[in-house]
Structure 1
Amino acid sequence: MKTIATLTCLLFVLGSTWSYPQQDYFMDNHQDYIMDDPASVYDYDNTDGSYEEETSLDYDNLELPSFSVDEQTYAVQEGGDVDISFAVSGPTPYVPIVKKVSKDGKPEQLLFVGDLKIKKNKKYELKNNVLTIRDVNKDDAGEYMYFFEVEPVVELTHLLDVQYAPTITSQTPKNQKVNKGESVTLACEAEGNPVPKITWSRVGGHLPAGPQEEGHSMTLLDVDRHVEGTYSCKADNGIGNPVIEEMSISVIYAPEIVTEKAIISTGEGDKVELVCIVYSRPASEVTWQKDGSSVEHEPNMEETKGGHKHTLMLQNITEEMFGDYTCHAKNEHGESEATINLTDLPTPPHFTSDINGGEETSYTLTFETESYYPITEYQINYREAKTSDSSEEPGSWMDLGSLGVEDVDTKEMTHTLKYTIGNLTKATEYEVLAAVKNQNKWSNESSFLFSTKKDKPQSHASTSGSSSLLTTSTSMLVIAVVLLLN
């Protein structure tokens, strides 16, 4: 049977040295205590509540207690159990006291006086000088002292480090709108033990500085539409799973237009799509014009849109439909336009050969063009890019004239041609102009730079030989000097 004792009784036992808030306490049926003065061991009689002196001690010659362990830090994850050892060197008649030390303005907590459990909390247990704390939480972190009320005080303090998974909160709005050209900052705060590492990434993309950045905040400068999206702030300290907070950025800007093709080659009876990709925030109103006039309600023309893509469908092309088509976009922040040329001309040649030729005195030129009609001929002019290393003046043009089409590879509207230019100078850069013709008209010219094969690197054998000869001569000179000295 256990007896409930009041704080007054407890303080009498302790010699009225400590003062704590009044609360319920309990003690075992039979407990020995050392009184401050005189130095005697008393027995608490459960039957009548009196103390009777059992054994008188020589207080002056009583050996003070000591510890067989040093101060330590105990690390435990939240939710776990921990055993904190306060190993005492041998038995002692003194009564130990265990408390949690006051810190950060929080009051200290008296846990045990001897075997007397002060707080009615099942998570604490003291046995054989080992303090067990079960189901540890963040509030349990701190210093725990095991001491004896002697003169001088004998004490040992251990630190309990409670480790727990991080939590994260955004410090800036989760959805931010910013004008093009301005700067925007994203910030988040993480709490945990150990201190979490914070990394930033972009969902489905990269940050301006690379895949990831570290730190509590990230600032994007001179923003444009390319920074729009969702950004992730991740906190990780190795305890539990990382936590993530996502934030988004929207950029307010005037329309920006990208065309799929600036020139579209077609022919009578064909059908084509003219496509403008329009980016803006807020969304823009998009209209189409041909040669400055609206195409609305025109026969054989239909406007469609889906997301950023705005398309003008042209059916059954006639000669009158060739010309310049303009897509015009406008929102409250500005306007923009882009032009697409619809023509029956072949597109200017696009060169696909390597600029560095593999032959010393010849070069095979390859290029492609788009044309609704077959390519019937082409022409090539070329010249040296400069006449000598000391001159920036180009050479004279060599006109190969009109060349018939003998070797052409055609796939739908794309035609690939090649021609080998001979009698060239090795290791020389050349400029070439080319144009192609279909059954109707010549294309515009395109220019291209290429070079013939350069000389092979010179062998260094002679240099090595000279070095060997120099080394041999030096050695002979050294030997001669030594002989003269002797």
Structure 2
Amino acid sequence: MVPFGWMFCIFIVGSRAAVNNGFKSHPTTVKTFENDTVLLPCYVEDDDKVQTMVRWWRDDILLADSSEPRHVPPVRVRMYLNGSLEVSHVKRNDTGVYVCQASRPTPWRYATQVHEIEVMYPPTVRPVPESGKLEVNLGEEVDMACVAKGVPVPIVSWRNKDGEIPLLYDRSRLQFHAESPGDAGRYTCVANNDVGEPASATIDLFIRYKPRIEMSKTWMHAPPGIRVQLNCGVTAWPEATVEWYFNNKSVKYTSGIVKHNAGSDHSLVIRNVRTTDYGFYLCRASNSLGITEAAVELSGVANPATIKKTSHSLSKTSYNFVWEVYSYSSIVQYEFRFRKYRNGVPGEWHTLYIPSGHDGNSFIHTYSFNLTGLEEATHYEAIVLSKNRYGWSKPSEIIRFATEGAPDKDNYMTNAIQEDKLVPVVLASLAKDYSFGPGISGSSVSQGGVIALIPVLYICSVNSEVLKNLYKILSSLRVTN
């Protein structure tokens, strides 16, 4: 036996299902690491009377031949007398198929046995595109990939800012539609084959889209003399240019009117509001894909009133309301509107004008009002408007209330949902004489006034029967001089 002065590590993973054809050894796949030494067996059933010639091949290249002593094997390769082939200090390119061919005189002739060497090494990965950056338009398909190498073949996984991305198909390729600007960001592919450390590569996805604007407020209350800031949130890629306009003219920035930009937040600061500053301010954002605009109104009129939940029924025919109004200027008058609400159809608005009274210098104006003369067991709706020195406010949100004995809330809300398919009718009030129907009155209220009703209907998928009922109601309204 020839002594061997080398170390090797052989893992026999499996054998090929083949007839040995006179071989004592079995086909093997040897998994090893770089710089190890591998011994591939080629043991033939033989006796002393018959001489067996052994040749080793790889990819049609003759590595060793026992019948030709002058044949010089490649570097790091040698064959032993027993036919075994040694590959020392294996490299990655030593991975492949090795064929042992044994030849004997008739009747044995040729017999072959196939072995494999698999040199394992940690994964490497490169992104596609190789720049690591990808740009697409909103709505287009995103197609990115990672080319991973390593033995065994690495498994590729993907993750983004939201965590790992579950994939059903080819893990090396990531395809999806850019449905939202939020899909932009960094995508990382990780290749792992359990040999050494995993390898990773990143691709930064940029999604091109026209500017989008989000206004935190579309209306702002500001009396003269205070500082006010109008905010405009802009997102876009490529980055948008933002400009402000007032009364269809570009805002001239001075020491008193300043523009601030911080990331997606764009603001216009008016350090000392004047009445001439009241009006609509337009935030215009533009990039190479388009222009987007949004407006905010600066006004001295009061904020819409908030009707408090502490409002409650006092009796079968009365209801007490409590509301609050935020206004730097004193409230001069309130306009209170109410109407019956029956079977999902609202009735005719009734309007009451209420003196505000005196509530000091507070910016928050609170008022309590007792509405009497209501019908028993009936559902109603109400809104409140406030007037200060700069004019009438926008109406409060509609509050729905009921006198004692009305149907339970669940049935009432079912009817209310039907009516909610309509945008509320906008009513304009004019100061004229109006004769209320019997039983309608208000505490501390002048009962002069008439309603000139100007309905503005935006009908969205409304039931035709509801539309007919609404038309009958509007047709029955009368204005008296």
- Compared CA separation, residues 66 and 333, structure 1 to 2 (3 A): closer
Q: Distance in 1 between matches of 2:176 and 2:90?
A: 42
Q: Does 1:166 find its partner at 2:139? A: no
- Compared CA separation, residues 115 and 365, structure 1 to 2 (3 A): farther
Between the aligned residues of both structures, percent identity stands at: 23
1:325 positional shift:
1.0
- Number of residue pairs the alignment of both structures matches: 371
Deviations 1:162-190 (A, max 9, x none): 33333333343633333444434223332
Q: Distance in 2 between matches of 1:316 and 1:342?
A: 13
Task: Choose from 95, 99, 109 the match for 1:141.
Answer: 95
Q: What SS does the corresponding residue of 1:219 show, helix, strand or coil?
A: strand
- Give the aligned residue type for 1:291: N
1:140 positional shift:
1.8
Over the residues paired in the alignment, what is the CA RMSD in angstroms? 5.5
Q: Distance in 2 between matches of 1:144 and 1:368?
A: 90
- Compared CA separation, residues 403 and 122, structure 1 to 2 (3 A): farther
1:268 alignment counterpart: 224
Contact 2:305 2:386 in 1 (8 A): no
Deviations 1:346-391 (A, max 9, x none): 44468999xxxxxxxxxx999998655699998887888762xxxx
- Compared CA separation, residues 88 and 278, structure 1 to 2 (3 A): same
1:297-376 to 2 correspondences below 5 Å: 297=253, 300-348=256-304
- Compared CA separation, residues 242 and 112, structure 1 to 2 (3 A): farther
- Give the aligned residue type for 1:200: W
1:19-418 to 2 correspondences below 5 Å: 66-86=22-42, 100-103=56-59, 107-110=61-64, 119=73, 121-122=75-76, 126=80, 131-150=85-104, 151-172=108-129, 174=131, 175-202=133-160, 204-205=161-162, 215-221=171-177, 225-297=181-253, 300-348=256-304, 387=343, 392-393=344-345
- Compared CA separation, residues 149 and 185, structure 1 to 2 (3 A): same
Contact 2:279 2:299 in 1 (8 A): yes
1:284 positional shift:
3.9
Q: Distance in 1 between matches of 2:113 and 2:198?
A: 37
Deviations 1:54-80 (A, max 9, x none): xxxxxxxxxx99544432322234454
- Compared CA separation, residues 191 and 268, structure 1 to 2 (3 A): same
Q: Distance in 1 between matches of 2:110 and 2:38?
A: 26
- Give the aligned residue type for 1:444: K
Q: Which has the larger radius of gyration?
A: 1
Consecutive unaligned residues of structure 1, counting only runs of 5 or more, are 1-27, 29-63, 354-363, 456-486
Q: Distance in 2 between matches of 1:115 and 1:262?
A: 95
Consecutive unaligned residues of structure 2, counting only runs of 5 or more, are 3-19, 310-319, 402-407, 412-481
Q: Distance in 2 between matches of 1:79 and 1:224?
A: 50
- Give the aligned residue type for 1:300: G
Task: Choose from 394, 411, 420 the match for 1:444.
Answer: 394
1:473 alignment counterpart: none
Q: Distance in 1 between matches of 2:307 and 2:63?
A: 84
- Give the aligned residue type for 1:109: L
Q: TM-score, normalised by structure 2?
A: 0.57
- Compared CA separation, residues 341 and 71, structure 1 to 2 (3 A): same
Contact 1:95 1:113 in 2 (8 A): no
- Compared CA separation, residues 447 and 134, structure 1 to 2 (3 A): farther
1:218 positional shift:
2.9
Q: Distance in 2 between matches of 1:416 and 1:76?
A: 84
- Give the aligned residue type for 1:119: P
- Give the aligned residue type for 1:110: A
1:296 positional shift:
0.2
